[in-house]
Structure 1
């Protein structure tokens, strides 16, 4: 069944190429239908997932003709971690299509091709079990996202933002490639499962880890490698912001979980204090910087820096709670931040500004919008019964087990998060209606149906977290480390 998560979007790409570009409605409907089919396949893959603590549905794909048995192929498989990132990718793709239905006015065919092509690459990143294959797919994602930001961005600075995104992440990935070459020269293979059984010398682990860290830290992004993120978010269209916040930022955390613990345990332990310190700076600095932003998209972008800092903090706490928290919080952030970017875009489509100072009293004319925004803002502040609360609770529990001081400093992030989230909602929705805004209609059916799956999942994951946690704990990483 694994191959169908690639075949379905690939068939969607083929059909889009056949349909004339003048038939705009047919293009949108075709892309939506094939993306929904891909989502159905991923849900079936989860339904038949057997909790055994090992990779399942493993497929071998010959991609380089080679006589060597250790090179020239890539393995694909899923475990308790990758299955949820696959579902998240498949869920956000049709949502991106729906929310962009009326906002993309030119080169619609090319835009939809970029979305589906990116979905294929993301499915490959989360399932590939070969380091060279991971690097190729990891870098391939830069191309469609570069085009989405640079072509369909909202303002004149979009080209600069697309180059920021491309060169920051591309230059960092060169160090990962050097680490992969070092691993191959030492072990003679890039097969992930074979490398997990190999004991690497500690000093060599340190060098390899630094190469992976520079690449993955830029992708998360961690301080001080976060400069590209706010610029890319502000200039990207809504689909670009949703995919960027919902999935692409998770590639860094996924890479740390997949490679740092199983392959480089000594280096992960050695560099743990440094990474914990950087994570604390990211949490506090990201939260304080969020408090002083005046652009709605920048507020969400900088809050993402703080939340992903908490992910890495839990990951390098060297506890099972921290690893669970890292995966769960990445999934939660993928849902909440994506929905918040959609909410912000709905305001921008109506009033054509993202500056907070122009908004007040939105709930008077848009009560349905006000209710949904309240749920999302409270989830971003990690109130109980939301998925963010579960992830951040486990992260702080792991931080306190690691060090009391680290736990106290990390807790400041939750306090500041509640502050800027509630202030944002109060400023936008409550009070007397702003004199700068004209009367506007509430959410239409398409916008409501786009947001509701995310809102429902945010609440369900908060109420029933162990339906996800139990599968995560069955993953290969946990079986190897604990």
Structure 2
């Protein structure tokens, strides 16, 4: 692990060169993926750090998404909008996420988990679009911090009980409801659980493309990662309370799915669809079954690529029309037909079409949730139908209809933007061939 930390530190003198750092991130991504293949055991990289299949997958995803974030943020480089500071924020983000996903010690995990909030706020405040980004940043900060303080107190209490903060050495006999809530609320708010998700659409709408990508692809997945980790030692106690979170998530996902159909902002639709899909991940983890955990991991990775790609497509339109409204952005089929193909493919992936990772994740998750209680098939059926509805709604509203008459000229899509979408699309649809590796999770 030290070599990856040092690689990030030695990139700091190179922050003047945008494309060099971008290329080096891609090289680091493939180095990590091919040199650290993990299986069903933790391979330690020191006293406090190690990777298993869960952290290995999410660190690989983080490297890849940050490389794509830089690729998507070409406008910042082109207009020279504080490029050096932007690259420093990217390095800071990667550093905190690398420590978060690889730490075996709960206190180091907590520190790095919270420190990832700082570069996200810098992205929203520094490169966001409207003045409302200030209130969006406050929502993000205070929702997360409100639930995180009990987690810190819970970590200290566990240390006083068992004299260890290593995830794999903690064994608790006298768990109680307060400790249980303090350990999981921070992660549920981060995912986010429905009815505590109000910070997410605001943050997505006001964030620049890089902020939206990192929020959708990585930061929501930190909640799932933390839940799976704390359930290693709290699972047997939590079984009797999990029905509450299952019901809340299923009902909330249903509400949010219907809410998607009323949105007129492209980014809002994608953000709300993320909330609906992450609710299924919460249900999978709360079912406390093998299928649930494996499905959650696959779904988190699939949603990481899919949501990020949809935000990139929304940004390609926004950079040309300077609006995210569905009333203005219509009829792109006649102007950018090749981009319409990618809109169709990714909207189809968003509704879990084969052969995407989303489909594989949903198969595992639906199995685990129906095994928990067969009556949930009613909710799951409506949820699957609604995901189809809002994906088709998003596609048809943007690609069909008459072009807005106020547009006198529309730039064509360039190679960088095509490559950006293709780099999302290939792993999303080809990683399904390696589903045997994901099933080595437990």
Taking structure 2 as the reference length, what is the TM-score of the superposition?
0.96
Q: Tell me by how many angstroms 1:436 deviates.
A: 3.8
Are 1:171 and 2:184 matched, yes or no?
no
* Contact 2:217-2:303 at 8 Å conserved across structures: yes
Q: Counterparts of 2:156 and 2:311 in 1: how far apart (Å)?
A: 38
**Is it true that 1:116 corresponds to 2:82 in the alignment?**
no
Q: Please, what is the CA RMSD of the aligned residues?
A: 1.5
- The CA distance in 1 between the partners of 2:34 and 2:236, in whole Å, is 38
* Secondary structure class of the residue paired with 2:252: helix
| 2:166 paired with 1:200 | no
Could you say which residue in structure 1 is the equivalent of 2:228?
Answer: 257
CA distance in 1 between counterparts of 2:202 and 2:327 reads 20
Equivalent residues in 2 for 1:413-424, closer than 5 Å: 413-424=383-394
Deviation at 1:37, TM superposition (A): 2.6
Q: CA deviation at 1:438?
A: 3.7
- How far residue 434 of structure 1 moved from its aligned partner, in angstroms, is 3.3
Q: Is the 8 A contact 1:28 1:101 kept in 2?
A: no
Partner deviation per Cα, 1:14-66 (whole Å, 9 max, x = no partner): 332xx4xxxxxxx31232133123212212234xx253x21114213xxxxxx
| In 2: Cα distance, 1:207 partner to 1:273 partner | 17
SS at match of 1:363: coil
Can you give the 5+ residue segments of structure 2 that lack an aligned partner in the other structure? Answer: none
Query: 3-state SS of the aligned residue for 1:294?
Result: coil
Residues 312-331 of structure 1 mapped to structure 2, 5 A cutoff: 312-331=282-301
Aligned to 1:471: 437
Whether the 8 Å CA contact 2:162–2:172 is kept in 1: the answer is no
Q: Per-residue deviation at 1:430?
A: 2.0
Match of 1:151 in 2: 126
Distance 2:372 2:408 in 1: 52
Q: Does residue 243 of structure 2 align to residue 273 of structure 1?
A: yes
Task: Flag the 1:187–1:10 CA change in 2: closer, same or farther, 3 A.
Answer: same
CA distance in 2 between partners of 1:57 and 1:41 (Å): 18
State yes or no: 1:455 paired with 2:425: yes
The alpha carbon displacement at 1:441 in A equals 3.2
Asked if 1:397 corresponds to 2:363, the answer is: no
Structure 1: stretches of 5+ with no match in the other structure: 20-26, 61-74
Q: Shift of residue 440 of structure 1? A: 1.8
- The separation in 2 between residues aligned to 1:413 and 1:237, in whole angstroms, is 29
Aligned residue in 2 for 1:12: 11
How many residues end up aligned between the 2 structures? 440
Q: Which residue of 2 aligns with 1:442?
A: 412
Residue of structure 2 in register with 1:182 after alignment: 157
Q: Which residue of 360, 371, 379 maps to 1:409?
A: 379
TM-score (norm 1): 0.88
**Contact persistence 2:93–2:119 (CA under 8 A):** yes
Instruction: Identify the residue that residue 395 of structure 2 maps to in structure 1.
Output: 425
After superposition, what is the alpha-carbon deviation per residue over 1:150-181, rounded to whole angstroms, capped at 9, x for unaligned? Answer: 11101111111111111111121111101101
Return the offset for 1:267. 2.8
User: Stretches of 4+ moved more than 4 A in 1?
Assistant: none
* Cα 1:199–1:446 shift into 2, 3 Å: same
| 2-structure distance, mates of 1:397, 1:403 | 10
CA distance in 1, matches of 2:83, 2:247: 45
1:135 aligns with 2:105: no
Q: What is the Cα deviation at residue 471 of structure 1?
A: 2.5
What is residue 46 of structure 2 aligned with on the other side? Answer: 59
User: Which residue, out of 209, 214, 220, partners 1:243?
Assistant: 214
Query: Are 1:38 and 2:28 matched, yes or no?
Result: yes
